[in-house]
Amino acid sequence: MKRLLFALALLAGPAAASDYCHDLWYTRNAIMHQAGYCFGSVLGQAVFGTGPCIGKSVTLSPEDTQTVARLRAAEKELSCRVNTKQPRLDLDDLFVRQQLWDIPIPDEGESACIGWLGPQVTLHAGQGADTPVVGSILPGQTVSYGHWPGAGWTYVTVSPGNGDWRVTSGGWMNYERLGEVPCQDYAG
């Protein structure tokens, strides 16, 4: 992982590394938020609110403890410095993430399907068809991947396409049910 993160830092410009740092910060703190952590920073309160929470000392599952440790190590490796005194997090898909039941874990790389040629696909709040629908993919849109898949599902963000990378939708997609979908072009 260390070598991959170092390569990311070399290949990605400062803006991309900063975006990745914000992704790491959000993910780590979303896990803490789900466990009941009470945020004291301006940014933590702006992103996660002030309640309900149980305190500053929360108990994480062994899996979440390991994930938080990996996220902290990645933040350290990239020398991430997220300004927690600001009231806004620079994360293009924050409005989607705040609807999710399952927290996506950032991957070291990103790829995209430019010009989705598949059918309309519903995107869910979690890794299951029984979770709420929070978005969709329409033919012609750009679908970006940058998080670890799990249990046949992967978190994606959706942009209008035609060079417009503004995130307009996102959520968990069942890639096992969908199978391989052709795209007009690929990035990453």
Domain limits at 10? 2-77
Say yes or no: 102 and 161 in one domain: yes
Answer with the one of 77, 107, 127 that is the final residue of a domain: 77
Q: Is 106 exposed, middle or buried (0-12, 13-18, 19+ CB in 10 A)?
A: buried
Tell me, yes or no, whether 124 and 181 share the same domain. yes
Burial of 144 (0-12, 13-18, 19+ CB in 10 A): buried
DSSP class of residue 7 equals: H
pTM above 0.75, yes or no: yes
Domain co-membership, 101 together with 168? yes
Q: Per the domain annotation, does 84 fall within a domain?
A: no
Q: Are 123 and 57 in a shared domain?
A: no
- Structural domain tally of the chain? 2
106 and 27 within one domain: no
Each of the 188 residues of the chain gets a pLDDT tens digit; together they read 333 333 333 333 334 566 899 999 999 999 999 999 999 999 999 999 998 899 999 999 999 999 999 999 999 999 999 999 999 999 999 999 999 999 999 998 889 999 999 999 999 999 999 999 999 999 999 999 999 998 899 999 999 998 899 999 999 999 999 888 889 999 98
